[in-house]
Amino acid sequence: MDSVDLVVLKTLLEWQSEVQWLVTVVKTFGSSPRPEGAMLALRHDGLIQGSVSGGCIEDELVLRARQGQLQTERAELLTYGVTREEALRFGLPCGGAMQLVIEPIKDIAWVSELLQKIQSHQMVRRTLTLSSLQVVLNTAQQSDRIDFDGEILTTLYGPRWRLLIIGCGQTSVYLARMAQALDYQVYVCDPRSEMRQTWDVTDTVLLEVMPDDALVELQADECTAIIALTHDPKLDDMALLEALKTPAFYVGALGSRVNNNKRRERLKLFDLSAEQIARLHGPVGLSIGSRTPPEIAVAILAHLISVRNQTTLNKELNNQEICL
């Protein structure tokens, strides 16, 4: 299951013989239905893929494309939601506004190159000069952010987040596929050959080593989540012993509350502090009454979204305090 970015980029490649544009959200003010960096592929006949709003701005863009009102030789900047009337017209939340860069696709080569880099698990920084349509691709860093100064637009592509799943069971299959749609690079570790033989989720990295070795190899950082799903304490605990020492933003383990309490007692026997053990999310995921593998995967990813967004918000607030 592709992420939204991949779907949009692949669509540009499919439409390469047509007149088309890439629409990117570059600035948001107040409340906004889509974040900075959100993309939309737009064709001259009104076909679209992706989204930049709740729907009304898309309708406006389709109309402009069909009526030949969009630039074809240079990129242009459009702003929506400045006035109350315009915000109401385009369905933007109260006080919301956004700026869009409308970029005609003249040279499809950069799209092919970008897709190749993403498929090889690279994170890419793309720089666009609006007046000349020049595109430059470079390797991105985790600290890079989307940036726009009115003439130069810098955007990021590729998996900025990583998910390590311990175990190749059925729940892992659903979790991996859904996580890919959320822009995670998924790694799956299972030393049991009989479990690995049926793993069929494409674009994942399958690790055959023991879980503790996988953690050392992965070098988990603040953009990494680690989920233990084997139901085998020997494997899950082995992973958790290493995972809880890392700066990973989320460490979770499948199992009932009783079993996870027993797991915490076992972890106390090793070189983990009380603070490290307290980082364990067990039972893993949000409590939504999930029972089936797909429901469990949804619960886990919903919790990852919640924790990840809260962590990002806290960082932004801290940066603002530093700037002030």
The superfamily in CATH containing domain 161-307 is NAD(P)-binding Rossmann-like Domain (3.40.50.720)
Give per-residue pLDDT as tens, 246-255: 999 999 999 9
Which position has the higher pLDDT, 225 or 95?
A: 225
Which pLDDT score is estimated for 319?
43
* Cβ 75 vs Cβ 133: under 8 Å: yes
Give per-residue pLDDT as tens, 279-306: 999 999 999 999 899 999 999 999 999 9
The values of phi and psi at residue 292, to 5°, are: -80, 160
Which pLDDT score is estimated for 321?
39
How far is 171 from 204, CA to CA, in rounded Å? 15
Residue among 311, 201, 296 nearest 253 (CA): 296
What is the distance of C-alpha 249 from the center of its chain? Answer: 14
Per-residue pLDDT for 317 more than 50?
Answer: no
Domain boundaries, the chain: 4-157, 161-307
Per-residue pLDDT for 278 more than 70?
Answer: yes
* Cβ 83 vs Cβ 60: under 8 Å: no
Task: State both tokens at 255.
Answer: 């199992």
Task: State both tokens at 44.
Answer: 């001259």
Which pLDDT score is estimated for 320?
39
Angle at 83 between CA 77 and CA 87, to 5 degrees: 85
Per-residue pLDDT for 309 more than 90?
Answer: no
Task: Report the DSSP pairing between strands 205-207 and 184-189.
Answer: parallel
Which pLDDT score is estimated for 121?
76
Q: Is 57 helix (H, G, I), strand (E, B) or coil?
A: helix
Give per-residue pLDDT as tens, 22-66: 999 999 876 667 788 999 999 999 999 999 886 778 999 999 999
Which pLDDT score is estimated for 311?
66
Give per-residue pLDDT as tens, 83-120: 666 655 655 655 567 899 999 999 899 999 999 998 87
Residue among 223, 229, 109 nearest 165 (CA): 229
Task: State both tokens at 50.
Answer: 């992706």
What is the percent of the chain with per-residue pLDDT over 90, rounded to a whole number? 70
Per-residue pLDDT for 15 more than 80?
Answer: yes
The pLDDT of 120-149, averaged and rounded, is 91
Q: Is 229 helix (H, G, I), strand (E, B) or coil?
A: coil
Task: Report the DSSP pairing between strands 124-129 and 152-157.
Answer: antiparallel
Count other Cβ atoms within 10 Å, centred on residue 303: 19
Write the single-letter amino acid at 247: P
Tokens 């239905």 -> residue: 33
Tokens 């992973």 -> residue: 239
Tokens 């950082």 -> residue: 221
Residue among 48, 46, 53, 50 nearest 68 (CA): 46
The pLDDT of 64-87, averaged and rounded, is 85
Task: Report the DSSP pairing between strands 224-228 and 161-166.
Answer: parallel
The values of phi and psi at residue 67, to 5°, are: -90, 5
Residue among 49, 57, 104 nearest 80 (CA): 57
Task: State both tokens at 248.
Answer: 């990973």
Which pLDDT score is estimated for 29?
78
Which pLDDT score is estimated for 88?
59
Per-residue pLDDT for 21 more than 60?
Answer: yes
Q: In what order do the strands lie in the sheet with 76-80?
A: 48-50, 39-43, 20-29, 97-104, 76-80
The pLDDT of 132-157, averaged and rounded, is 92
Tokens 């299959």 -> residue: 173
Alpha-helical runs (H) found in the chain:
4-14, 56-66, 84-89, 109-119, 170-181, 193-196, 211-218, 233-243, 257-267, 274-278, 293-323
Q: Mean of the per-residue pLDDT values for the chain?
A: 88
Give per-residue pLDDT as tens, 177-220: 999 989 899 999 999 999 999 999 998 999 999 999 999 999 99
